[in-house]
Structure 1
């Protein structure tokens, strides 16, 4: 009975992580640029119980029985597929149409500024004290150009247009300015650190992981900018499959209820045994 309760509790603990991931996916189903996650389970070690007392050729029962100890969360896999594009008719909304390509953002940190990456392309204009404007995301983080510097332009800009190669054209009364939006390809996105629902950063200890920065990402500069895919006045929707998440939620809830019922039944059987006089 104790083994039954332990096995069920182990599985319930891991199923809770699955339920948390499904809830996070559903809550971000309307978040632009969000990538859904999925949990993969693995079975824990078995214990082989051999029965050698009836070792006969015509026996019908198995020579032994394998008793499991539950399951555990084997890994978390992120779905990197491109979400559907939603036309917004807003000049500062840009959607990346190629997979694994991310906008470069500048985030302040304890050791100075660092570049982080996001596919959420709804940008805004933030006025500066010197009369210029800075291009920022909805969190107020500056959008970086291909050199890693903040994109700043005159406060009298009247029109914004981005070309497919990531060239941002800002129209002003006296002419226009062009900026190269910083775009990076995450070669191994599963190795990146998820900072928020849509932002990703580099791992802190690359040397300890035995990898280099060039193994994880490629900055699209020079001739490589021809690979950039961008669409004006549109945003990439979340790639969360609502129907799949609801199906997984029902399945996980049923599995959780089954294991909870196993604990209850084992407790009842222990009560009966303890009640025998």
Structure 2
């Protein structure tokens, strides 16, 4: 029975690793996507110490027999490796060079069209579009999901009129014709990105309270040498070759444990036949 438990727990973890690889491959063309790497750990083990004293003579191994319970998928670690930069020459496209995230927000309204909450999300996708927003009564830079880009204080960047000749410096300074003064695009550093919760659309939950500024929880990534590149986008850091080799390893591991389940079933069948005689 123990062999069945070990093999089935391994097959369950391998299936989750397969799902993770499939998710990486499906996002190979997603702008700013960071791949996840499956990591396994050992389940609880049992130790049998009731051995005769005679068995302990001339023994090189520790006293007792350790019986494992298999392995499981412990976590899927976020790979923060820099993706390749793709030149687009679109003035509102921005790529982050280094470890950092844009903070984007979107208002949540009730049935009476009253703002009751605000979503705060992190993203590496710098493909922004300029359009008019009725709530802000001005023009904003927003993502494809409708989240608005914020400045270095966590406030939405709003322009009273359409801007032209946009210029974004490496330190995040945003300037254009008709702007009274430049604003600075906020890029934030997350100490432990593995704790960020993915919420879809290549976004992470920033876990900020309503109307709370990002300074209360995060630090500016510019202090760590992060720079911005205008007219470019960061590609996904997923490698097709690496993911396909991982897929082959997962398939072989699944076949091995599936065969172990079959052999264990045959052994128990033989034991039952011998007992019935």
What is the TM-score of this pair, normalised by structure 1? 0.81
Match for 2:129 among 124, 131, 136?
124
Partner SS state of residue 195, structure 1: strand
Q: 1:59 to 1:194 in 2, by over 3 A?
A: closer
Note the alpha carbon deviations across 1:72-113, whole angstroms, 9 max, x for none: 2223211112211111121111001122x1111013348522
Q: 1:197 to 1:35 in 2, by over 3 A?
A: farther
Q: 1:196 to 1:60 in 2, by over 3 A?
A: closer
Distance in 1 (CA, whole Å) between partners of 2:207 and 2:140 is 28
Which is worse superposed, 225-234 or 241-250? Answer: 225-234
Partner SS state of residue 107, structure 2: strand
Alignment of 1:156-175 (within 5 A): 156-172=162-178
Q: 1:245 to 1:265 in 2, by over 3 A?
A: same
| Counterpart residue number, 2:107 | 108
Q: CA RMSD in A?
A: 3.1
Match for 1:248 among 231, 246, 249?
246
2:162 matches 1:133: no
| Counterpart residue number, 2:149 | 143
Note if contact 2:21-2:243 (Cα within 8 Å) is conserved in structure 1.
yes
Note if contact 2:173-2:184 (Cα within 8 Å) is conserved in structure 1.
yes
Which is worse superposed, 137-146 or 151-160? Answer: 151-160
Q: 1:98 to 1:55 in 2, by over 3 A?
A: closer
Gapped regions of structure 2 (runs ≥ 5): 110-115
Q: 1:204 to 1:270 in 2, by over 3 A?
A: farther
Give the Å deviation of 1:246. Answer: 1.5
Note if contact 1:81-1:239 (Cα within 8 Å) is conserved in structure 2.
yes
What is the TM-score of this pair, normalised by structure 2? 0.81
| Counterpart residue number, 2:266 | 268
| Counterpart residue number, 2:84 | 84
Partner SS state of residue 55, structure 1: helix
Distance in 2 (CA, whole Å) between partners of 1:117 and 1:145 is 13
Note if contact 2:122-2:206 (Cα within 8 Å) is conserved in structure 1.
no
Alignment of 1:1-277 (within 5 A): 2-49=1-48, 52=52, 55=55, 65-99=65-99, 101-109=100-108, 112-129=117-134, 132-172=138-178, 178-196=182-200, 198-203=202-207, 217-219=218-220, 227-276=225-274, 277=277
Give the Å deviation of 1:161. Answer: 2.0
Gapped regions of structure 1 (runs ≥ 5): 206-212
| Counterpart residue number, 1:208 | none
Note the alpha carbon deviations across 1:188-226, whole angstroms, 9 max, x for none: 322332223532223489xxxxxxx86852136xxx679
Note the alpha carbon deviations across 1:147-167, whole angstroms, 9 max, x for none: 333222244433322111111
